[in-house]
Amino acid sequence: MKRLCRFGVVALIIAACSTTNQFPSHTSLLPSGALRITPHYAIAFADLIQVGALVGVVYMISDPTAPNWAITETRLPDDRVLYDLNMQRLRQGGDGEARYVLARRVDALVREQGFSGYRIDRYEEALDSRILLPRRTAHAEIKLLAANHQVTSTPAASMPVPTSTEQQAQ
């Protein structure tokens, strides 16, 4: 999509430059006239180009196709893995999915490395409060269980979330 936007801007510039005989001129590079929607309603070409440029800029900044979470995986000795998950600052939805994202990534790692399962030793979620654009973060420490070890833990996606009294007791 970014290539298409860049191509569109270059095409507009080339088309505008090829239609003028003298440069610099005292007229606008944008064509005069309007797109007639109905007999009584028309939109100026300059307004269409401004709206298109605004939509392109907003799309490039927000990028709705990008993943919501950035995952940093750190392998430690004795089959432990640390995960840091950081949510995008500009996003739409996905606030409560850190545990599911972590579970999917750890399940994939268990399958790739041939382990029998995993145990979550530590899991924390937080809100990184900055003046502008706060974001959610999650940190986890995972112990990968060897193939001869019996799996006694449940996946992170189905683990109960501790209540406030349980958190105070710990």
Q: Which domain holds residue 26?
A: 2-62
Cis peptide leading into 134, omega within 30 of 0? no
Question: Helical H runs in the chain?
Answer: 2-19, 45-62, 98-113, 164-169
pLDDT for position 39: 87
pLDDT bucket at 162, cuts 50 / 70 / 90: very low
End residue of a domain, out of 11, 43, 62: 62
Same structural domain, 74 and 54:
no
* Tens-digit pLDDT profile for residues 89-131: 776 666 778 899 999 999 999 999 889 999 999 999 998 887 7
Cα separations in angstroms, 134 against 70, 90, 154: 15, 9, 31
Return the pLDDT at 123.
Answer: 94
Contact criterion met (CB below 8 Å) for 87 and 68 = yes
Whether residues 89 and 151 fall in one domain:
yes
Tell me what the mean pLDDT of segment 143-166 comes to: 57
Indicate if 94 and 17 belong to the same structural domain: no
The count of structural domains within the chain is 2
Rounded-to-integer distance, Cα 141 and Cα 81, Å: 6
Instruction: Please tell me whether residues 46 and 94 are part of one structural domain.
Output: no
Q: Are residues 76 and 30 in the same domain?
A: no
Res. 164 pLDDT band, cuts 50 70 90: very low
Same domain assignment for residues 78 and 29: no
Backbone phi, psi, residue 78, to 5°: 55, 40
> Could you tell me the pLDDT band of residue 28, with boundaries at 50, 70 and 90?
low
Q: Which of 2-11, 19-28, 93-102 is predicted least confidently?
A: 19-28
The reply to whether the predicted model has a pTM over 0.75 is no
